[in-house]
Amino acid sequence: DQQVKQNSPSLSVQEGRISILNCDYTNSMFDYFLWYKKYPAEGPTFLISISSIKDKNEDGRFTVFLNKSAKHLSLHIVPSQPGDSAVYFCAAWMEYGNKLVFGAGTILRVKS
């Protein structure tokens, strides 16, 4: 049972434009969310996080939005750069949980 879902396997965006990566979750006990970026043959790298008590968190070109009522979050990258091309994973902690639950990932390709 996939509790964290990234329904778009891939996304292609022109350099300089906005990239929007989406993530849905099913368990209302999730209370902290993170995004990781992963290049081939490397480990995931932490990007940005958001607590369930907030609806937005911004760090440079990266902004994460959380809609608790819809159980939906999104990662916005503006402006997108070719170096952003990677797999992006959404992940969630359950309140009192011991593990970070990951989505299946979305491949982002930024074309120059």
Partner 1 sequence: NAGVMQNPRHLVRRRGQEARLRCSPMKGHSHVYWYRQLPEEGLKFMVYLQKENIIDESGMPKERFSAEFPKEGPSILRIQQVVRGDSAAYFCASSDREGSGNTIYFGEGSWLTVV
Q: Which residues bind partner 1 (CB under 8 A)?
A: 31-32, 34, 36, 41-46, 49, 51, 89, 91, 93-105
Of 25 and 36, nearer to partner 1 (C-beta) is: 36
Of 28 and 46, nearer to partner 1 (C-beta) is: 46
Of 22 and 79, nearer to partner 1 (C-beta) is: 22
Min dist CB 11 to partner 1, Å, is: 16
Min dist CB 61 to partner 1, Å, is: 19
Min dist CB 15 to partner 1, Å, is: 27
What gap in Å lies between CA 25 and CA 100, rounded to an integer? 13
